[in-house]
Amino acid sequence: MILQKLSRALRQQDWFTVALEVLIVVGGIFVALQVDQWATERELDRREEAYLVALGEDLRAMSASLEHEMADRNERRETMIRAFQALEACEDSPQARADVQVALDQYQVGGRTLYVGATFAEMVATGALARLTDTSLKRDIAATFSDLERLNRRLNDIRLSLPVVDGILWKNVTYGIDERGRFRADVNIPALCTESEVRNAFIEIIDIQADQYGFIGNVWEQVTDLLDKLDA
């Protein structure tokens, strides 16, 4: 209909009608484009909100996982300290033997990969992270997950710090396998407490565990701070 009117107006040289019809066509196209852009922006806003909600759920799970790891490593470190003190005092009591037993059985444990969640990787892959309008929040998200990945690499590489400790303990401690198939140390405190290198090995393990606790604690603070920002 509009094209017919426009063609007739051109033949009749009715320039007012030509201008009016052109204006109607251009205006219609402009309005359609604006509506389409508005719908696209609304969809992007909806996706951004959904991503941030999912990211918040991942962060809550990560916070719980980090808290568990902090408590676990702190408990291991306290046991190791008690075991070292027992060796230093050459104390051969049931509690001392139990502490040294646990310390020797578990000192190598500590390479579990911490939970990260999939939302951050999906936000990066889809460009959702780059589209975040809050630049401060975007920077905090990227920094937190970068530090979390760095922490996981450090925890997984912790065995690189233990070869010397392994050599000392395996030379001075006899290990066997219990009825559940687990390695168990044969604890002989009177023999172990006379070896200064064994006590020094315990000090090295305590230092490694303290580093682990500190690294995990720092990332936990970042995760909880970011979660507070998302909730706000």
At 129 the pLDDT is 86
Instruction: Specify the pTM.
Output: 0.70
The residue ranking higher by pLDDT, 74 or 164, is: 74
- Confidence check: pLDDT of 10 > 50: no
Residue range 71-123, pLDDT digits in tens:
888 888 899 999 999 999 998 888 888 889 888 887 766 556 677 788 888 88
CB distance 210 to 81 below 8 Å: no
Banded pLDDT at 53 (limits 50, 70, 90): confident
- Confidence check: pLDDT of 47 > 50: yes
Residue range 137-158, pLDDT digits in tens:
899 999 999 988 888 887 776 6
| Angle (CA) 90 93 98, round 5° | 100
At 6 the pLDDT is 47
Q: From residue 202, give the alpha-carbon distance in Å to each of 55, 106, 145, 163, 171.
A: 40, 12, 33, 13, 14
At 20 the pLDDT is 52
- Tell me the two tokens of residue 67: 């808290």
Banded pLDDT at 13 (limits 50, 70, 90): low
